[in-house]
Every structure is written in structure tokens, then in C-alpha cells.
């Protein structure tokens, strides 16, 4: 799960015109005039909050574990340290470029996790401008999903570092699930197809993902993630076009235009072709 809906502090030009920059008082007054001010303030604090009470898994390790961790949580952190390089290679291969390795913090309690994330009932989040991954071992250990969820979060880290922080939610989550296998465990492809057959489908909105909600209709988040991943996988079947689209996105082109340029069709048409294909498979 990303924080892109709330990482828009630097984009809030309506609150911080150039002549006001550097004025904390004006920024606070402007924030107070807006809805969701407390969330904005929390997001800003999380960008600078130091991580305390963690131990390195090993010398010079990028994985840090809650100092109160039990044996199971310690084992999870060690597993992530051992699999880190392979997980990053997976994302670099599927996304078409390298990225800077983030620090990873494994919390052993809900209280620890809630201290560093926007959404306390999630299993993982990215933070601090694409430089950290925070994992909730309490939730990840229940279904042995630590490694796939970690890899999922690395996909979000990649796009943060490659300038797609406010990409449409379906794209960010679809790429993350399709590349990692984690994040939509509660809904299978077959179940997602059945939902399509019943008329329950996500919409591939191309709006700014920071300011606009995901268009998931009546779908659960797991079903939304699964359908988005299936659509991304469909696009990936045309490898040269998909690689071209990724290259354009890495260069700063928005998702909709990148896909339309690479495939020669609007995203809405590509989505409809995918939907029809899945409907046939659902029968």
C-alpha cells in the first residue's frame, strides 16, 4: 500500500505560492483552511520522523528489526535480508531499470507500525520519499506473506524514485501485484473474472492518483488489486510495447499517454479488449 494519496505536500502550490515559501505560519493557516489538514500534517511529519528502537539484522544491513522482536519476527527480517537482492532484481527486471535500495524497517508490534505509517491497519507502506519500506510483522506472519509483500513495496519504491508518485492507483498496484505476486492474496484470478462477469469491474481512471480516489466501484481492495494486476499482465503480453511504455513513464510521461503512444490505442480501448478476453475465460 502506498502513501501517494497523501504525499502531495510539495505539490500544494495553492497553499504555498513562491512569495510565501519558507513561511511556516502561512503554510499552517492555509492547511487549516483545507479539509484533511490533519492527514497532511501527519504525512509531513512522517517524512522526517527518525526510526528509533531498531537493530540492524547484520553489519551494514539495509534491513532493520524492532528491538523488541521475537524469534519469528527476527527470522522474517533475516529472510528479507537474504532475499533482498533477488527481490530488487525482480523489480528492476520487470520495470526496466535500476533503483536505489531503500532501508527496510520490520515492526514487531502494531504500536511500532502505527508510529511510522499513514494507514495503521495495513501490512506495509513506503515512506520518506521512496527511501524506506515499513513492514508489519504481526500481519505478515499470519499468512507467510513477508517476501511477496516486501517485493510489492519495492515496486512502489521504484515508481517513487522514477517520478510516477501520483500515477493512477490501478497502475501502481497492478504493477506491484503482477511483479511480486503479493498484495491480492484474498482474491484469485478466477474469482476476479467471476466478478467481471457479474458486472463488477475497476475503471482504469487516468486522473492524478494523489488527488483522486481509486475507481473500484463495489470491489474490495483485494479484488481491485487483482483485476488491476490482470490488466497489467495483459498489457505485458506485448513485450516490446510494454517496454516502450515503461521507458516513456521513466522519462516522465504520464501513464495514459505512455500507454497510448506505445500501443496506439487509448487505455479505455485496451481495457475493454482485456475485459472481453477475461469474460470469455470466465464462462
pTM of the predicted structure, to 2 decimals: 0.86
Question: Which H/E stretch holds residue 56?
Answer: strand 54-56
What is the CATH number for 103?
A: 3.30.2010
122 shares a domain with 20 = no
Structural domain total, the chain = 3
pLDDT in tens, the chain (283 residues): 444 444 443 333 333 334 334 444 444 445 444 445 677 777 778 777 899 999 999 988 999 999 999 999 999 999 999 999 999 999 999 999 999 999 999 999 999 999 999 899 999 999 888 899 999 999 999 999 999 999 999 999 999 999 888 899 999 999 999 999 999 999 999 999 999 999 999 999 999 888 888 999 999 999 999 999 999 999 999 999 999 999 999 999 999 999 999 999 999 999 999 999 998 886 6
User: Among the three residues 161, 193, 228, which one is the final residue of a domain in this structure?
Assistant: 161
Residue 4 lies in a domain: no
Say whether both 274 and 180 belong to one domain.
yes
Cell numbers describing residue 165: 508518485
User: What is the DSSP secondary structure assignment for residue 18, as one 8-state letter?
Assistant: G
For 53-111, what is each residue's pLDDT tens digit?
Answer: 999 999 889 999 999 999 999 999 999 999 999 999 999 999 999 999 999 999 999 99
Cβ atoms of 240 and 36 within 8 Å: the answer is no
* Domain with 196 in it: 169-282
SS3 of residue 124 by DSSP: strand
Tell me, yes or no, whether 62 and 136 share the same domain.
Answer: yes
Q: 105 and 19: one domain?
A: no
How many C-beta neighbours within 10 Å does residue 203 have?
A: 14
Q: Do 84 and 98 reside in the same domain of the chain?
A: yes
Spatial separation of the C-alpha atoms in residues 80 and 163, rounded to whole Å: 26
Per the domain annotation, does 1 fall within a domain?
A: no
Task: Check residue 65 and report its DSSP letter.
Answer: E
Q: Are residues 60 and 143 in the same domain?
A: yes
Amino acid at each position: 500500500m502506498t502513501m501517494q494519496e497523501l504525499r502531495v505536500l510539495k505539490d500544494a502550490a495553492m497553499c504555498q505560492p513562491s512569495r510565501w515559501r519558507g513561511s511556516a505560519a502561512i503554510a499552517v493557516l492555509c492547511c487549516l483552511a483545507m479539509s484533511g489538514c490533519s492527514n497532511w500534517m501527519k504525512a509531513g511529519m512522517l517524512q522526517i520522523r527518525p526510526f528509533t528502537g531498531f537493530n540492524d539484522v547484520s553489519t551494514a544491513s539495509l534491513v532493520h528489526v524492532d528491538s523488541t522482536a521475537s524469534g519469528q519476527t527476527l527470522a522474517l527480517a533475516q529472510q528479507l535480508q537474504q532475499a533482498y537482492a533477488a527481490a530488487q532484481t525482480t523489480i528492476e527486471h520487470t520495470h526496466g531499470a535500476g533503483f536505489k535500495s531503500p532501508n527496510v524497517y520490520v515492526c514487531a508490534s502494531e504500536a511500532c507500525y502505527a508510529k511510522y505509517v499513514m494507514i495503521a491497519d495495513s501490512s506495509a507502506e513506503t515512506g520518506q520519499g521512496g527511501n524506506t519500506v515499513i513492514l508489519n510483522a504481526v500481519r505478515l506472519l499470519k499468512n507467510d506473506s513477508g517476501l511477496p509483500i516486501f517485493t510489492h513495496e519495492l515496486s512502489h519504491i521504484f515508481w517513487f524514485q522514477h517520478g510516477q508518485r501520483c500515477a493512477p492507483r490501478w497502475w501502481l498496484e497492478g504493477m506491484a501485484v503482477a511483479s511480486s505476486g503479493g498484495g491480492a492474496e484474498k482474491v484469485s484470478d478466477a474469482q476476479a473474472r467471476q466478478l467481471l462477469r457479474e458486472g463488477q469491474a475497476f475503471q482504469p481512471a487516468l486522473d492524478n492518483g494523489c488527488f483522486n480516489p481509486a475507481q473500484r466501484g463495489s470491489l474490495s481492495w483485494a479484488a481491485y488489486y487483482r483485476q488491476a494486476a490482470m490488466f497489467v499482465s495483459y498489457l505485458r503480453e506485448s513485450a516490446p510495447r510494454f517496454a516502450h511504455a515503461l521507458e516513456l513513464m521513466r522519462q516522465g510521461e504520464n501513464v495514459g499517454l505512455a500507454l497510448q503512444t506505445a500501443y496506439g490505442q487509448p487505455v479505455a480501448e485496451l481495457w475493454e479488449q482485456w475485459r472481453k478476453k477475461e469474460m470469455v475465460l470466465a464462462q
